[in-house]
Amino acid sequence: MVNILRPIDMMQTSTLEVEFSRLSRRRIFILSGLLAALVLSLWLDILAGPSGLSAGQIVDGLISPQSLELRHKIILWDVRLPDALIAIVVGAALGLSGIETQTVLDNPLASPFTLGVSSAAVLGASVAIVLLPTIPFVPPAFILPVLALIGALGSSCLILMVVRLSGGARETVILFGIALVFLCNAIASGFHLIADADALQQVVFWTIGNLTKAGWLEVAIVTCCFLVIFPFSLKHVWLLTLLRGGEAHARSTGINVSRLRTWVIIRASILAAFAVCFVGTIGFVGLVGPHIARLLLGEDHRMLVPGAVLCSALILSIASGLSKTLIPGVIIPVGILTAIVGVPLFLSLLVQRRRRPS
């Protein structure tokens, strides 16, 4: 017979508390490791490049920009730093929106990209490149990102409408997202047909995704967007973890799952829209970063959400460094490298996980 009136001594630590906090400490350790790796990768990314700036010069130049000769100052402050930083903030943004979409849609393949955000951005970019429109009050250099952003946000609005109309049914949302991808691709292809060779090449280049066009303003915009949204994600970490226990469980606790889903999809698609509008569709990061974090850190979203952010930022930062160093004198578009960096990392973790007895 089970005795439920056993007295408990609240002052002592339970074995569960001991084991659970040991696990948490290990995960915090892994998170710190990821952060350290990210800092290292940022450093290497700044270091990488053809202009022969030495590590010492870079340190000096970072501390007092005036100490560098003008040419080097421009390379460091106007090229290397913004490129390296945009890799990290875009990676972080895509990782955050990826992990949240995966969790609320309970689908390992879901990401703002499968919801059509990036295809709509490509559509917007294609319009900008092929039709060369002018928009009042928008400087010509910003027409492309602005139209990409409008496309991406427009698709987010459509998705949101569907979320509302379907009462937050997961399958409907995912299917509609895929349909939207096809629709945007089809319309964009129409523009590509009428484009001349030059414009077509620009579209392809943009679609692959590259970081070299970004400056401080872009870094600042994406960073602000991330910093505004991240606290909301942190506020929801318990709810998101709970949701991993299944929709039936979540609903039975009185939580409004549909509302949670709507909120998360809103913020994830806004974040993804801002992330892709400047650098193009670097899609793979937002899918694989969260999965790597999952393999390393488990499903507790207190750890998993920051972990996904760090992993995705790390992958994009490494890819950014490699894009400048793999072929001397050539900058490979980073979108090509993310998959080439991410897939082996992902596979090795998957295989390890298989081998390790649980």
Partner 1 sequence: MRLSVKNLSAFYGKKKILHDISFPDVRGGMIVGLLGPNASGKSTLMKCLSGEKKSKGDVVFDGENLHVVGGKRWSEKVATMPQTAPAPTALTPTELMWSTARALALPYSNRELSWKIERIFDDLGLSDFQLDALHTLSGGKRQLIGLALAFIREPELLLLDEPTSALDLHWRMIVLDLVKNKVQQSGSVSIAALHDLDLAARYCDLLALMENGKVIASGTPKEVLTRDNLARVYHVKTEIDLSKHGYPRVDVIGAI
Q: List residues binding partner 1 (CB under 8 A).
A: 1-2, 4-6, 8, 10, 13-17, 19-20, 23, 106, 237-239, 241-242, 244-249, 251-255, 294, 298-301, 358
Instruction: Look at the block and give the residue holding tokens 């202009």.
Output: 51
Pick between residue 19 and residue 171 the one whose CB is nearest to partner 1. Answer: 19
* Least CB distance to partner 1 at residue 103 (A): 10
Burial class (CB in 10 A: 0-12, 13-18, 19+), 354: exposed
Nearer to partner 1, 167 or 190 (CB): 167
* Contact yes or no for 135/289 (Cβ under 8 A): no
Q: Which is nearer to partner 1, 67 or 253 (CB)?
A: 253
Distance between CA 115 and CA 283 in Å, rounded?
A: 12
Instruction: Tell the smallest beta-carbon distance from residue 293 to partner 1 (Å).
Output: 12
Indicate the residue among 305 and 334 with the shorter CB distance to partner 1: 305
Q: Looking at beta carbons only, is 213 or 244 nearer to partner 1?
A: 244
The full DSSP string for 35-70 is HHHHHHHHHHHHH-STT---HHHHHHHHH-GGGS-H
User: Residue 257 CA to chain centroid, in angstroms?
Assistant: 24
Amino acid identity, residue 324? K
List, as own/partner pairs, every contact residues 48-51 make where C-beta atoms lie below 8 angstroms and the sequence separation is at least 24, other chains included: 48/321, 48/324, 48/325, 49/75, 49/79, 49/80, 49/324, 49/325, 50/324, 50/328, 50/329, 51/75
Q: How far is it, in rounded angstroms, from Cα 296 to Cα 311?
A: 10
C-beta closer to partner 1: residue 254 or 329 = 254
